[in-house]
Structure 1
Amino acid sequence: MSLDRREIAKDVVQQSTEAAIASAGHVVAILFETARKITTEFGAFGTEIFEIAESSRRAGHDGTDAADSKP
């Protein structure tokens, strides 16, 4: 039993569509992973900024306390 042209064409369209969907899925997965990594880096940067601000605040208080205790 041989396949007729319509069935061959249907198979070509089906396989092409499946390949396109699989490729699109891979691209979307890459984009989501990239967005997740960028978000993580921004979060780490924000944490560093808060830590720097806190250290600066503590250093300012320590300097003020030391200056106040000098004769």
Structure 2
Amino acid sequence: MDDRLSKGEIRKDAVQEIVGAGASAVGEVTSIITTAVKDVANAIGGFATDVFEIRDGARRASRRLHEDEDDQ
């Protein structure tokens, strides 16, 4: 009994491994990109929250200044 693989089987196995490795690499890159997009969105959201808080603080300070000026 001859247990050697034919050239066709060897090529098929090589192609199968290449496709599997490619799919794995694409999956890893996709995961990296997905995480990066999420992190950027969170950073922008945090910055927007800071801007709103600063704007509200400036409005309150401006109101207090005008109230103090009206009291004098």
Give the alignment's TM-score, normalised by structure 2: 0.95
Q: Which residue of 2 aligns with 1:50?
A: 52
Off by >6 Å, runs of 4+ in structure 1: none
Match runs of 1:28-47 below 5 Å: 28-47=30-49
Where do 5+ consecutive residues of structure 2 fail to align?
A: none
Q: Which residue of 2 aligns with 1:22?
A: 24
**Count of aligned pairs:** 70
**Identity of counterpart residues, as a percentage?**
30
Where do 5+ consecutive residues of structure 1 fail to align?
A: none
Q: Which residue of 1 aligns with 2:9?
A: 7
Provide the C-alpha distance between the structure 2 equivalents of 1:62 and 1:31, rounded to a whole number of angstroms.
47
Alignment equivalent of 1:66, drawn from 48, 65, 68: 68
Provide the C-alpha distance between the structure 2 equivalents of 1:57 and 1:64, rounded to a whole number of angstroms.
11
